[in-house]
Amino acid sequence: MENKFIIAIDGGTQSTKVALFDTAGTEICSHTVKLKPMNLYGDSRAEHPGDDLWDSLKEACQQALKKFTGDRKDIIGIGLGSIRCCRALVKEDGSLASPVQSWMDLRLSKPYEHEDDNVRYVTTTTGYLTYRMTGEARDTRANYVGPWPIEPETLNWYEDEEKFRAYTTPREMLFQLVDPASILGYVTGEAAIATGIPAGTPVVATANDKAVEGLGAGLVNDGTVLVSLGTYITSMMVGEENRADTLNYWTNPGATPGEFLYESNGIRRGMATVTWIKDLLGSDIVTAAAERGMSPEAYLEMLAAEVPAGSDGLYTVLHWLARPTHLHERGIMIGFNGNHKGPHMFRSVLEGIAMTMKNHTQAMCDERGVSLTSIIVSGGGSNGDLFMQIFADVYGVPAHRNVINGSASMGAAICTALALGVYKDRQDAIHHMVKRRDTFYPIKENVALYKEINEKVYSKISDDTDQLLRTSHEILHNK
């Protein structure tokens, strides 16, 4: 199919990206709009302020299309991806009854309870944006992760009324569910004016954002693991078996029918910790980076590359956002001495992320009975050569990155290509659209050092500090 294009929407926790691809997987242009800071209040609530998801999507579409030099009539479809584990309460007219609840909001640990008569629908972020773009109360069945009244095997709403009522969500408030990689509806005239996308363009269902990312990374069931560097960092594998009895990973719906995504435990506010350390080190870093024409992160990577592996005994435990069931958890940096400076702290955060994820990944592989063969690293953090080398050394296997390292947008494009019949199946689409950029190979002496540090020191820090943090939490919060 020549001179045909796909719009891919990648909605995240910190930004909304809209990219245009040709059907061979080449990114033609893109635009990213940062979201407003999350509204965090009380001990439990986290919301996207105002109508930030829709407003950012409109702006990102408009700006991406301004960069597009092709004919908009050659845009064949839109892949709609957005954040999982969020809740949107929608009025009859499609506007929000209240701000979208983030996955970090503790209300998301319980089913929706109807208390506001302004609410007509309760849905996910993909459902809300579908309604805005098409006027259709339809959503991908593969983005319902969490306490929804959905049958885990069929991914349909429970037919059994007793099971359904246990979730306290009125049936008439739920959207119709469709398979990923199928058409949700078509861009309305109103949405066309708001976004610049031609009216009548098909809008295609994707899945939960991690499954879309796995598809876009070209993940296959051969012992390869995808490490996703986002606000939430996790590792993933794919397969065809739906398991509900696992300890070290859980099963999510995949981005194509019949596919399942296996996901390890992860790091909450993961890459936000890298931003935190950059901000903590102050404006001098930003100024010095600007003078060299570099981003602050790239400049810090350059400095941290001079720090030896192991950061001279400085270790970072990445509990910057406690789990709802472990509210006493706190982030830790341990092992300071007078020689440590900002680059040591920065490298220690990178090493802490890599070692934490290695342990989570290995637990998943061991439980699945699968040998780890290689990793793909996706997300903006994979742009750093030092970070990629640390991953290769800590995991002890080759670490790949793709040309499109923000692979959720590629996954959305692949879903669209499949829905519109451009490619016959998942593997065919991956073969034609996903392209590898480069590979980092483990450095033998670093592999041995990180293995010893991880097994004898790093993996034991939380065990030794947990009771102290529990006691601290009780002192501070039980007065």
> Would the pLDDT of 1 be above 60?
no
Give whole-number Cα distances, 438 to 8, 318, 328, in Å: 24, 28, 41
What are the tens digits of pLDDT across the range 253-292?
999 998 999 999 999 989 999 999 999 998 899 999 999 9
Share of the chain above pLDDT 90, in %: 88
Dihedral of CA 414/417/418/424: which sign? Answer: negative
Query: Which CATH class for the 219-479 domain?
Result: alpha beta
The answer to whether 30 and 407 have CB atoms below 8 angstroms apart is no
The answer to whether 174 and 151 have CB atoms below 8 angstroms apart is no
Rounded average pLDDT over 325-332: 92
pLDDT at 324: 82
Dihedral of CA 53/58/63/69: which sign? Answer: positive
Rounded average pLDDT over 395-399: 98
Question: Measured between alpha carbons, how far is 285 from 173 in angstroms, rounded to an integer?
Answer: 50
State the DSSP code for 71.
-
State the DSSP code for 221.
T
Helix (H) or strand (E) holding 193: helix 189-195
Confidence of residue 452 (pLDDT cuts 50, 70, 90): very high
Rounded average pLDDT over 398-426: 96
Helix (H) or strand (E) holding 123: strand 121-123
pLDDT at 323: 87
pLDDT at 373: 96
The answer to whether 139 and 176 have CB atoms below 8 angstroms apart is yes
DSSP 303-319: HHTTSPTTGGG-EEE--
Written as six digits, the tokens of 284 are: 């001098």
What three-state secondary structure class fits 77? strand
Residues near 189 by beta carbon (within 8 Å), at least 6 away in sequence: 199
Confidence of residue 243 (pLDDT cuts 50, 70, 90): confident
Confidence of residue 244 (pLDDT cuts 50, 70, 90): confident
DSSP 280-300: HT-HHHHHHHHHTT--HHHHH
pLDDT at 479: 57
Share of the chain above pLDDT 70, in %: 99
What are the tens digits of pLDDT across the range 366-383?
999 999 999 999 988 999
Give domain limits for the chain: 5-206, 219-479
Rounded average pLDDT over 151-179: 94
> Would the pLDDT of 150 be above 70?
yes
What are the tens digits of pLDDT across the range 171-230?
999 999 999 999 999 999 999 999 999 999 999 999 999 999 999 999 999 999 999 998
Question: Measured between alpha carbons, how far is 236 from 212 in angstroms, rounded to an integer?
Answer: 11
Written as six digits, the tokens of 461 are: 């820090």
Q: Which of 271, 250, 248, 246 is nearest to 261 (CA)?
A: 250
pLDDT at 429: 97
Question: What value does the mean pLDDT of the chain take?
Answer: 95
Written as six digits, the tokens of 140 are: 């991908």
The number of CA neighbours under 13 Å toward the Cβ of 313 is: 5
What are the tens digits of pLDDT across the range 18-64?
999 999 999 999 999 999 999 988 778 999 999 999 999 999 999 99
Confidence of residue 152 (pLDDT cuts 50, 70, 90): confident
Task: Judge if 5-206 and 219-479 fold alike in CATH terms.
Answer: yes
CATH for the stretch 5-206: 3.30.420.40
